[in-house]
Structure 1
Amino acid sequence: MLDTHAPPRSSVWLPIFAGLCASLVSIGLARFAYTPLIPSLIQAQWFSANDVVYLGAANLVGYLIGALIGRPLAQRTSNKSALRVMMVAVTLAFFACGFPLSVVWFFAWRLLSGIAGGAIMVLVAATVLPHVPAARRGLASGAIFLGIGLGIAGSGTIVPPLLSLGLQQTWFGLGLLALVLTAASWFAWPTGTLHEAPAPSDTSARTPSGVYLLFAQYAFMAAGLVPAMVFLVDYVARGLGDGAHIGAMIWVMYGLGAIVGPVTYGFLADKLGARLSIRVVLVVQAIAVGLLPFAGSFTGLAVLAVILGSFPPGIVPLALARVHELLPNHHQQQVAWSRATVSFATFQALSGFAYSALFNSSGGQHALLFMIAAGAIVVALALELGMILLNRRPLGTVPTHTLIAAGNLK
């Protein structure tokens, strides 16, 4: 069990603020601010078009590495120290990217920023949420990962004015913003640690099957969100022929959805439970992605962009809440969340390369990518529906761990 050395209610929001800053710097800015920089990187002849795509993938690969090493790194130091170091690493990467010395140089720093993002994603919730009342953890996790949404929105609003000053100045501006956020959050991380009593040695205690179901669902969610996240602007600008200006406006709408998503989804998890909330969100997202190739009007595209934008940052607090529903032990929660993040990162990286290859081989067929993405989300939903079908068997004949996976037991 956890001890009760939690901070007073008035100080709960300081750790949440630190978590928001961490997700904003390491993922919101480090990953998503790169998207609107791609045309300028090519036009300024810093790198070729092929190299720019390759450099974009470096962040996704780094994210997977960071998800794998996050917990071991924290065990050697502490969660707070690891989070601080990772935020400093991202800040340095922004400044370093202002100097296009070579493709290898740029790749290394983009890789490092991805590593920091993966490590922070694994550690931030485990560091902050134990200091938040259980009934508010869904909303709190949404607030933490709101930083991702703010970064997506900021990439469409902050980067264009910075680009008017120059490409190098844009990287320096992002680095300065990351530095300010790192400094602002430095002393906001929790000072006390909630210690967990050693778990009893019980070899019969196993991870519920529902956790493995979540890993699989989370992986297919990652595969389902990549096409809209990567190709939406290009689809509007070139695929529909609406031009870069309309594409940028749609990206801003995507960013607005990303701001609303984490807190909204976290609130749903608190009110409806994570299991039901995941079902609802998957249905809505599958419909939205499936409708994207058929939306010709600006209004239709804008509405779909808001819905789709809520998904990448919004599913994080949902998945985290589901982990907490299935596993009451804090250490088990940390391990499961780390593995879930690795599952997500792996499929996200693989999907990024696969969709890019398919896009090139199909002659730039955006609709094909969106249909495959919708199919991936449907698979994520079908995985749980398959478990639900087991409920038709008499409960006495169904193993307990299967009931947990299907949702009858927590």
Structure 2
Amino acid sequence: MTGTAPSRQSLWVIVALCGLSITFDGYDLVVFGTTVPSLLDEWNISPAEAGTLASLALVGMLIGALLVGTLTDILGRRKMLLLSVAWFSVSMVLCAMAPSPGWFGAFRLLGGLGLGGLMPTAAALVIEYAPPARRNLTYAVMQSGYAVGGILAAALAIPVIPGAGWRVMYLIGAAPLVVVLPLAYRWLPESLEYLVLRGRRDEALALAHRLGVPLPEPQVREDTRRWYGGVRELVTEGHRTGTALLWVMCFCALLTVYGLNTWLPQIMRAAQFPLGSALTFLLVFNLGSIVGSVVGGRAADRIGSKPVVAVSFLLGAVSIVLLATRPSTWAIYLLLAVAGHGTIGTQNLINAYVTRYYPAAARSTGIGWALGVGRLGAVLGPTIGGLIIDSGAAWQWNFYLFAAVAVIGLAAAGFVPQSPSLAAERSSRRERADAVAVKESAS
């Protein structure tokens, strides 16, 4: 969006509603990891089979993320977010009622479709409305809801699973039906960029007036108005190399995020920590990502996303390797907090980077495809982790694997070329600043 951001009140309503939605996405991420020991016991399945169950939700997310660009063109960003929240919430109720591993996996697969569409839509909305000079920070604040959801799942699991059983954890995950949907339906605005691109200028003008912002005038080719236009934008000459490297970064970050969140409690139990301590480690892991995301978002606004993402990957790799040395308990907490930033926090920063890397017409498609390809890594993370545990290999090998993947992500981040869209945005901002300076000096 060109021009100024919406009023502070309107902006934070958008950030709060998207962040609240993302909170339950984060809850879903961690809830499976907290219930894995219970599933292993109740259904007498192996760790490899549990890894497959975890991956089914991620397959659904992959499909949902790839479809989000096309569906958003039909429904709009606001309706897409509402549909995604409702869809995955209903699936959580079905998971709580699942009579067998097969049905549980099917419901997780269906729920993944909604989760896959949620994050790209929320990302595009927040980046659109965020102040240009604070986009990374604003996005990081919203995306921190993801880790808050993970913390909520880990904290609730400690008393709920022993007292009420694992199924209650999934019922709690359906709370967006009564917490998020009514508020979002009432207060969340549609994307101005979407309305303008679809030719609904009168609606866009009325909304812009209500929010107190200028009407965006995105300059797009005619083919970006078609369903495949956003996808074509990703592979144009100016974006092609960056697109491939951003996909590699998402693949690596999501492999480590989902691998560790799924298996961290079980890995720490294999290292002879009790279940309560293992779940506390999961809580610290997610808490670290909140602090890291906000600090990293502020740094990215000042020096750019690329170096901050690279440093985050490096911190993740180093902290994960050090966890394999089984340090003292206080050091484990510190390393897990840093690893939380180096994995979940890194992915949060990548999301903001990807969403800004493309022009307005391709934002939802760009982040949707990046997260869709990244879900391949998310699928592999729990599966590979389960296979390593099932093989009888030492528990440290999961940490070695995830650290190596973070190093690959670091290498990809180092080679991402400058985005033509970001370069044009910076040039336009400088021209506006120069024009203001000339006007002030003339007066």
Corresponding residue for 1:237?
A: 269
Corresponding residue for 1:395?
A: none
Shift of 1:5: 9.1
Partners of 1:199 and 1:3 lie apart in 2 by 14
Structure 1 stretch 204-213 or stretch 342-351: which is displaced more?
204-213
> CA 1:54/1:101 → structure 2, altered by over 3 Å: closer, same or farther?
same
8 Å contact kept, 1:261–1:313: no
Corresponding residue for 2:323?
A: 292
User: 1:345 is matched with which residue: 360, 367, 375?
Assistant: 375
Q: How many residues align?
A: 389
Partners of 1:365 and 1:338 lie apart in 2 by 36
Corresponding residue for 2:431?
A: none
RMSD: 2.9
Corresponding residue for 1:269?
A: 300
Corresponding residue for 2:215?
A: none
**Could you tell me the percent identity over the aligned residues?**
21
Give 1:121-200 correspondences, 5 Å limit.
121-163=119-161, 164-176=163-175, 179-191=178-190, 193-194=192-193, 195-196=196-197, 197-200=218-221
Does residue 252 (structure 1) correspond to residue 250 (structure 2)? The answer is: no
SS of the counterpart of 1:334?
A: helix
AA partner of residue 221 (structure 1): A
AA partner of residue 193 (structure 1): L
Partners of 1:61 and 1:276 lie apart in 2 by 31
> CA 1:200/1:178 → structure 2, altered by over 3 Å: closer, same or farther?
closer
8 Å contact kept, 1:289–1:374: yes
Does residue 336 (structure 1) correspond to residue 335 (structure 2)? The answer is: no
SS of the counterpart of 2:187?
A: coil
AA partner of residue 85 (structure 1): L
Does residue 210 (structure 1) correspond to residue 210 (structure 2)? The answer is: no
Corresponding residue for 1:382?
A: 411
SS of the counterpart of 1:160?
A: helix
Q: TM-score, normalised by structure 2?
A: 0.79
Partners of 2:297 and 2:309 lie apart in 1 by 11
AA partner of residue 252 (structure 2): F
> CA 1:62/1:135 → structure 2, altered by over 3 Å: closer, same or farther?
same
Partners of 1:379 and 1:53 lie apart in 2 by 23
AA partner of residue 174 (structure 1): G
Does residue 364 (structure 1) correspond to residue 389 (structure 2)? The answer is: no
8 Å contact kept, 2:259–2:378: no
Does residue 38 (structure 1) correspond to residue 36 (structure 2)? The answer is: yes
Partners of 1:404 and 1:193 lie apart in 2 by 23
AA partner of residue 84 (structure 1): L
Partners of 1:228 and 1:332 lie apart in 2 by 31
AA partner of residue 367 (structure 1): Q
Cα deviations by residue, 1:11-51 (Å, 9 ceiling, x for unpaired): 100111111112112x21222112112223344x2563465
Cα deviations by residue, 1:131-174 (Å, 9 ceiling, x for unpaired): 12111211111122112101111111123333313444443333
SS of the counterpart of 2:96?
A: coil
8 Å contact kept, 2:33–2:263: no
Partners of 1:275 and 1:103 lie apart in 2 by 42
Partners of 1:150 and 1:18 lie apart in 2 by 14
Cα deviations by residue, 1:296-342 (Å, 9 ceiling, x for unpaired): 31111111111112234322332133335544x21233332222112
SS of the counterpart of 1:190?
A: coil
What 5-or-longer segments of structure 2 have no aligned partner? 198-217, 224-232, 427-443
Corresponding residue for 2:45?
A: 48
Partners of 1:47 and 1:76 lie apart in 2 by 44
Partners of 1:166 and 1:371 lie apart in 2 by 33
AA partner of residue 319 (structure 1): I
> CA 1:181/1:229 → structure 2, altered by over 3 Å: closer, same or farther?
same
AA partner of residue 218 (structure 1): C
AA partner of residue 45 (structure 2): S
AA partner of residue 371 (structure 2): T
> CA 1:312/1:22 → structure 2, altered by over 3 Å: closer, same or farther?
farther
AA partner of residue 15 (structure 1): I
AA partner of residue 18 (structure 1): L
Partners of 2:351 and 2:40 lie apart in 1 by 38
Shift of 1:287: 0.8
Shift of 1:61: 1.3
8 Å contact kept, 2:95–2:107: yes
Partners of 2:381 and 2:154 lie apart in 1 by 24
Structure 1 stretch 241-250 or stretch 195-204: which is displaced more?
195-204
Partners of 1:53 and 1:324 lie apart in 2 by 30
Corresponding residue for 1:391?
A: none
> CA 1:94/1:210 → structure 2, altered by over 3 Å: closer, same or farther?
closer
Cα deviations by residue, 1:61-80 (Å, 9 ceiling, x for unpaired): 11111111112222221211
8 Å contact kept, 1:231–1:366: no
